[in-house]
Homo-oligomer: A and B are copies of this chain.
Amino acid sequence: MVTLAEVAQHAGVSSSTVSYVLSGKRSISTTTRQRVEESIRKLGYHPNAGARALASSRSNIIALMVPLRTDMYVPVMMEIAVAVAAGARAHGYDILLLTGEEGPDAVRRVTGSGLADAMILMDVELDDERLPLLRGTQQPSVLIGLPADTEGLTCVDLDFRATGALCVEHLAELGHRDIAVVGEAPAVYERHTGFAERTLDGLRTRARELGLRLLHRPCEGGYDATAATLARVFDERPETSGFVVQNESALEPLLALLRQQGRAVPEDVSVVAVCPEQVATQASVRVTSVAVPAQEMGRRAVEQLVGKLDGLGGDEVVLLAPELTVRASSGPAPVRP
């Protein structure tokens, strides 16, 4: 391995000069800089990450904790993770991938060892056990998701409460009075995952305000579970004409089942989904949806974090405004006989 000292010798300068050429922290004359850069290229020099981290107490690594759960729709997580990775690279950071498995211990390990300069946490629960640790360290962090108490934390998330409200409003405007919500798996609610509960809250509040009837059913997703859920919904509320789906793996099954039962979408039943664009546009019916802006969330999280690392900006909650795109799955409520 070529070292900085060897580069310095090759270029006929001191090693500190090479270091300053690399970091740009002091001005270097053009001729010297060029000579050094030439040597770097010729020798194929790469700074040693460990030495750099030790000397500067900066690893240029951002830890990303992604959930490992199987009851979550992974593509969204993956999309966020990829956006985070790309964004981080653009700012000169690498990503250390931590699976949720380790839980709070991972936070301790990373902050304690200086392995990473900062962390991004995904899949935040309303009362997440990792939060006290984050508050008790000076290591910058950003949550993707919104816990109950955001005091002293930086969070980035879609405004799921507004999302819920938006879905209800859309269906209300179309004249629907009985709305069913096909939600995430029961375990997601049991865990008090922020986004699920807040969506539900938004849905319920707005429905109450507008005088609609709302029926919420968690659903495991997949064909069978969705069929069971659907049956129970129509059993309990035969008048249901509007569906809000917040569970990607229940969306296509739901559409298929409705079709099979002879309920036309959107003539008899309207469907609104909360899901990534791609899912909504690739389904068997183009689905009216509020997109989960995974990329945007990942990007913003990195931006917030880099801002904090550079000493700018404080604690802030960034809530992205939801946007509802009307497609072919929603239309005027059927006229009651």
List the interface of chain A (C-beta within 8 A of B). Answer: 1, 44, 46-54, 57, 59, 61, 64, 66, 68, 74-75, 77-79, 81-82, 85-86, 89, 94-99, 101-102, 108-109, 112-115, 221-224, 249, 252-253, 256, 259-260, 281-284
Q: Are A97 and B78 in contact (CB under 8 A)?
A: no
Chain B neighbourhood of A89, CB < 8 A: 99, 101-102
Q: Are the C-beta atoms of A82 and B99 separated by less than 8 Å?
A: yes
| Chain B residues near A96 (CB-CB < 8 A) | 61, 94-97
Query: Contacts A54-B48, A249-B282 known; A94 to B115 CB distance under 8 Å?
Result: yes
How many whole Å from A89's CB to the nearest CB in chain B? Answer: 7
Inter-chain contacts of A82 with B (CB < 8 A): 66, 68, 99
B68, B74, B222, B283: which contacts A282 (Cβ < 8 A)? Answer: B222
Contact of A97 among B54, B64, B108, B221 (CB under 8 A): B64
Q: List 25 A-B contacts (CB under 8 A).
A: A46-B109, A47-B113, A48-B54, A48-B114, A49-B113, A50-B51, A50-B52, A50-B54, A51-B54, A68-B82, A68-B85, A74-B74, A74-B79, A81-B97, A85-B98, A85-B99, A94-B115, A95-B97, A223-B283, A223-B284, A224-B282, A252-B252, A253-B284, A256-B256, A256-B284
Tell me, in angstroms, the Cα distance from A101 to B89 when the chains sit together: 10
In the complex, what distance in Å separates the CA atom of A54 from the CA atom of B249?
47
Asked if residues A221 and B68 are in contact (CB atoms below 8 Å), the reply is no
